[in-house]
A and B are shown apart, each in its own frame.
Chain A
Amino acid sequence: MPRLIIESGHTERQYWHDLWRYRELFYVLAWRDISVRYKQTVVGVLWAVIQPLMVTLIFTFVFGRLAKMPSDGVPYPLWVFAATMPWQFFAASLAGASQSLVGNANLISKVYFPRLIVPAGAVVTTMVDFLISFGLFLLMMAWYHVWPTWRFIAIPFLMLLAFMTALGPGLLITALNVKYRDFRYIIPFIIQIGIYISPVGWSSTMIRQNFPQWTWLYSLNPMVGVLDGFRWALLDGKGGASLPSFVLSVAVTAFLVLLGVWYFRKTERTFADII
């Protein structure tokens, strides 16, 4: 029979093992969040479609029609939607993960489980919305007679990348938010600014052409890698993705994930005391 020893400052060696053992709770919490997500709403799951669609419409008008931004020959709505989808996924995941611990305060102060389950579950939940809007994207492709290519096989990996990009800062912010409630105000700010400094309405090609010396700085934004990657995969290599820039973005994501996990693990033991 396993013997468990609890001591002060004793970082449990079996943490990752525990995380695996509690995977069922992870599924159940994700299922709970998904099944209550659109309860007591009138249009329900349609919200998952309405949101990216509205952004696409507005961006098509503002950037496509008014500003006449180039879209590398792709129909502009398709062009925007390919980036809106992962962007919305990122934004919703980040917001969900950041609020997740405080939102589950009751659970945290009453039951033991590896707390990492909570923010990770929150990110998985938003994946459902992503899949729905992905379905919509396929319909749009058919409408514009644009056909999938072999590059589609990159999508699961890009999903994983987007997941990690949201999880890293999400872990950091949700852990900080337990102690300093200031951090919940930072999220809307990040999301609002992020959509303009990331290639959602325009393309990375423009940065490379107009500000070649600043491309490295631009690529430090981890969402550049994700969005360029999605356009590359969905729109047959269009969108100005470049390998060095992608690698840099991925490196930043990896760094943020490590930082997030480290800080989360460091503070996790005190969550129940201060939440």
Chain B
Amino acid sequence: MSDIPIRVENLGKKYLLTHMGNRGHRKYTALRDVLMEAAMTPFRGLRRRLGKTVDDEQPDSPSREEFWALKDVSFEIERGEAVGIIGRNGAGKSTLLKLLSRITEPTTGRIELEGQVASLLEVGTGFHPELTGRENIYLNGAILGMKRAEIKSKFDEIVAFAEVEKFLDTPVKHYSSGMYVRLAFAVAAHLEPDVLIVDEVLAVGDAEFQKKCLGKMKSVSEKDGRTVLFVSHNMQAIRQMCQRVIFLKQGKIAYAGDPHEAISGYLGQGVNAESQTAIDLTDYPRTRSIEGAVFLRMRFTDGHGRPAASVRLTDVLGIEMDILAKKPLRQFNLSMAVIHGEGLRVFSEAYSDQRAMPDLAPGEYTLRFEVPMRFFKMESYFVALTLIENGKICDHVEGLLMPEIVDENPNLQMESQRWGVLRVPVTWDLIKPAVKQAAPKS
């Protein structure tokens, strides 16, 4: 038995993206498309067979695009270690976990695994709504790789952990979402593999339960000496859980080692660290097409308009963006939303909430707004921006990570550790029992 249960060497995973004109991405193909492609290029295979050089030497038709979700990733994990994996959406975290859990196959490189590996990429995988809680415990347990006898021996523990005793014989379709998640996590928490792989499962459920889950995972790695691999956007949880953190960026390891370093690398990435001045939004990935107007650049600044890599809780955060109106815009509007690092939408606000919507002539404009930071916590938040003309969306960008929020005041740090996505400083007063009023003068 070696002390390295996970060894990864030069791991890479390539996907072929097929662009279907404007119909967006579609994962599966219709046979028709394949036949069409064959009909359009009838001699390609023949020419290849004849050994002639094919003039269109692209890997495939121009509508195909290669995409490396993960490239040249190597690392080792020691027995009993709890390792966090962080990175933005699309950095390759989930792909890495899928490769380690054998769900998909690597394109390059190799993985060596030792011992029983259990992965929890989603809570409640395979839960069937028509089955009762009791039945789903057995079903989900088996899906996660537990033996029937094993589930039986831990059944009471699972039920107690999930706090669903009363509803054991109710179909889970009648469960509240909280109960559902609790039950699902409870089953997973009682797995006893040598290596446990967990993806962002704590993003669901209420704060109390999240705490309980985190505690359970911590005890799995610390007390039982199991190896835990843990993906999360919740930096608080990563800090608590992990001795080591791997920070992925565009499919590669940007940093691996000390959690503190990795987290500040992650929080400071892109926007601030790379270019103190501006983020180019022209090439930024978008989920919808652009019409009429487009975001060009954006900058995070402090209250004085200076580029900011971090912002204090007592300060304001300036957000500046350059936009290009490609045509005259009527009833121009812009909305911004702040999303907590764990995905919860915190608030949104539009230009039209405070000002009249102007009509704009074609050309470049700069817009600036300021957000007071006093209600934020020392966690990560993302900004989403939407350009609107006459009620229609022109352009939309999201996932813009806000600068790290810092403060030295210990009271503020304490408040930041409370649950919730905002920190609202309330005023407290302890009132003494009312002093009896002096007796009226007689």
Interface residues of A (CB under 8 A from B): 1-9, 24-25, 28-29, 32, 35-36, 39-40, 106-113, 178-183, 269-270, 272-275
Q: Nearest Cβ in chain B — how far from A6, in angstroms?
A: 4
- Chain B, Cβ-Cβ closest to A37: B130
The contact of A8 among B15, B106, B117, B119, by CB within 8 Å, is B106
Q: Nearest Cβ in chain A — how far from B173, in angstroms?
A: 10
Contact flags B115-133 to A (C-beta < 8 A → 1, else 0): 1010101100110101100
For the A-B complex, the count of residue pairs with Cβ-Cβ distances under 8 Å equals: 108
Q: Nearest Cβ in chain B — how far from A269, in angstroms?
A: 4
Assess the A36–B128 pair: CB atoms within 8 A.
Answer: yes
How far, in angstroms, from A1 to B31 measured CA to CA in the complex? 45
Assess the A182–B30 pair: CB atoms within 8 A.
Answer: yes
How far, in angstroms, from A35 to B31 measured CA to CA in the complex? 35
Q: Does B372 contact A (CB under 8 A)?
A: no
Q: How large is the interface on B (under 10, 10 to 19, 20 to 34, 35 or more residues)?
A: 35 or more
The contact of A110 among B122, B139, B142, B194, by CB within 8 Å, is B122
How far, in angstroms, from A272 to B105 measured CA to CA in the complex? 9
Assess the A3–B114 pair: CB atoms within 8 A.
Answer: yes
The contact of A40 among B114, B130, B139, by CB within 8 Å, is B130
How far, in angstroms, from A270 to B105 measured CA to CA in the complex? 7
Assess the A180–B31 pair: CB atoms within 8 A.
Answer: yes
Assess the A274–B27 pair: CB atoms within 8 A.
Answer: yes
Which residues from B are CB-within-8-Å of A32? 128, 131, 135, 139
Q: List 13 A-B contacts (CB under 8 A).
A: A3-B114, A6-B106, A28-B142, A32-B128, A32-B135, A32-B139, A36-B130, A106-B125, A109-B103, A111-B103, A111-B143, A269-B105, A272-B104
How far, in angstroms, from A178 to B29 measured CA to CA in the complex? 9
How far, in angstroms, from A4 to B1 measured CA to CA in the complex? 13
How far, in angstroms, from A25 to B126 measured CA to CA in the complex? 12
Which of B94-102, B294-302, B432-440 lines the interface with chain A?
B94-102
Q: Nearest Cβ in chain B — how far from A143, in angstroms?
A: 36
Q: Nearest Cβ in chain A — how far from B225, in angstroms?
A: 14
Q: Nearest Cβ in chain A — how far from B425, in angstroms?
A: 42
Contact flags B28-56 to A (C-beta < 8 A → 1, else 0): 11111010000000000000000000000
Assess the B130–A8 pair: CB atoms within 8 A.
Answer: no
Which residues from B are CB-within-8-Å of A109? 103
Which residues from B are CB-within-8-Å of A106? 125-126
Q: Nearest Cβ in chain B — how far from A102, in angstroms?
A: 9
Which residues from B are CB-within-8-Å of A180? 28-31, 34
The contact of B103 among A28, A179, A272, by CB within 8 Å, is A272
Contact (A6, B126) CB under 8 Å given A35-B135, A110-B121, A111-B119: no
- Chain B, Cβ-Cβ closest to A180: B31
Contact (A6, B102) CB under 8 Å given A28-B139, A182-B32, A275-B27: yes
How far, in angstroms, from A273 to B16 measured CA to CA in the complex? 10
Assess the B126–A107 pair: CB atoms within 8 A.
Answer: yes
Contact (A178, B105) CB under 8 Å given A25-B143, A28-B142, A32-B139: no
The contact of B107 among A8, A24, A183, by CB within 8 Å, is A8
How far, in angstroms, from A9 to B14 measured CA to CA in the complex? 13
Assess the A111–B32 pair: CB atoms within 8 A.
Answer: no
Q: Nearest Cβ in chain B — how far from A42, in angstroms?
A: 15
Which residues from B are CB-within-8-Å of A2? 114-115
Q: Nearest Cβ in chain A — how far from B279, in angstroms?
A: 31
Assess the A179–B29 pair: CB atoms within 8 A.
Answer: yes
Which residues from A are CB-within-8-Å of B32? 182
- Chain A, Cβ-Cβ closest to B100: A6
How far, in angstroms, from A25 to B110 measured CA to CA in the complex? 27
Which residues from B are CB-within-8-Å of A269? 104-105
Q: Does B144 contact A (CB under 8 A)?
A: yes
Which residues from A are CB-within-8-Å of B119? 111-112
Q: Nearest Cβ in chain B — how far from A8, in angstroms?
A: 5
Assess the B142–A25 pair: CB atoms within 8 A.
Answer: yes
Q: Does B148 contact A (CB under 8 A)?
A: yes
Assess the B111–A24 pair: CB atoms within 8 A.
Answer: no
How far, in angstroms, from A113 to B125 measured CA to CA in the complex? 13
The contact of A1 among B101, B105, B114, B128, by CB within 8 Å, is B114
- Chain B, Cβ-Cβ closest to A104: B126
Q: Does B254 contact A (CB under 8 A)?
A: no
How far, in angstroms, from A36 to B139 measured CA to CA in the complex? 12
Q: Does B113 contact A (CB under 8 A)?
A: yes
How far, in angstroms, from A181 to B105 measured CA to CA in the complex? 23
The contact of A112 among B103, B112, B122, by CB within 8 Å, is B103
How far, in angstroms, from A275 to B98 measured CA to CA in the complex? 14
Which residues from A are CB-within-8-Å of B130? 36, 39-40
Q: Nearest Cβ in chain A — how far from B357, in angstroms?
A: 44
Which residues from B are CB-within-8-Å of A272? 98, 103-104
Assess the B103–A5 pair: CB atoms within 8 A.
Answer: no
Query: Which chain B residues in 338-375 approach chain A with CB under 8 Å?
Result: none
Assess the A111–B144 pair: CB atoms within 8 A.
Answer: yes
Assess the B121–A3 pair: CB atoms within 8 A.
Answer: no
Q: Nearest Cβ in chain A — how far from B134, in angstroms?
A: 12
Q: Nearest Cβ in chain A — how far from B215, in angstroms?
A: 25
- Chain A, Cβ-Cβ closest to B107: A8
Query: Which chain B residues in 301-345 approach chain A with CB under 8 Å?
Result: none
Q: Nearest Cβ in chain A — how far from B106, in angstroms?
A: 5
How far, in angstroms, from A178 to B99 measured CA to CA in the complex? 20
Query: Which chain B residues in 125-160 approach chain A with CB under 8 Å?
Result: 125-126, 128, 130-131, 135, 138-139, 142-145, 147-148
Which residues from A are CB-within-8-Å of B126? 106-107, 111
Assess the A107–B143 pair: CB atoms within 8 A.
Answer: yes
Contact (A35, B108) CB under 8 Å given A109-B103, A112-B101, A112-B119: no
How far, in angstroms, from A39 to B194 measured CA to CA in the complex? 38
Which residues from A are CB-within-8-Å of B27? 274-275
Central interface residue in B106, B143, B144, by most chain A CB within 10 Å:
B143
